[in-house]
């Protein structure tokens, strides 16, 4: 459902703003289906949500998260390239520089 073009135009594009304000109004939000439905709902939903919140809080508290800089010291916006699989992550070439 999250990749259905009837609900989300350009579903493969990373556009988090689609879930804010007017663009998402009247559409199905991922939070309503990501953990399943009815009898098949994920029993660890509350634990997973709390774990993600804690992980993000730790990253923000412990790391200096910012854009990389080029050799001239200017900020560079890296392309949004992700590797799909069991989990979704940034390309290995961009993680550490």
Q: Is residue 14 part of a domain?
A: no
**What domain range is 47 assigned to?**
41-65
Q: What stretch of H or E contains 49?
A: helix 45-62
48 three-state secondary structure: helix
What pTM was computed for the model? 0.49
89 assigned binding-site residue: no
Q: Is residue 55 part of a domain?
A: yes
The pLDDT of residue 21 is above 60: yes
34-84 confidence digits (pLDDT tens): 787 778 888 988 899 899 999 999 999 999 888 888 999 999 988 877 766
Structural domains of the chain, count: 1
Whether 71 maps to a domain, the answer reads no
* Residue 6 falls inside a structural domain: no
Domain membership flag for residue 72: no
Q: Which residues contact 77 (CB under 8 A, 6 or more apart)?
A: 67
């Amino acid at each position: 459902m999250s990749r259905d073009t009837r609900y989300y135009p350009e579903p493969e594009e990373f556009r988090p703003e689609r879930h804010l304000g007017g663009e998402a109004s009247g559409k199905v939000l991922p939070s309503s289906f990501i953990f399943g439905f009815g009898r098949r709902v994920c029993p660890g939903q509350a634990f997973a949500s709390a774990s993600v919140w804690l992980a993000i809080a730790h990253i923000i508290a412990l790391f200096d998260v910012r854009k990389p800089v080029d050799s001239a010291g200017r900020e560079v916006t890296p392309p949004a390239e992700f590797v799909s699989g069991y989990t979704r992550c940034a390309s290995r070439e961009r993680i550490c520089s």
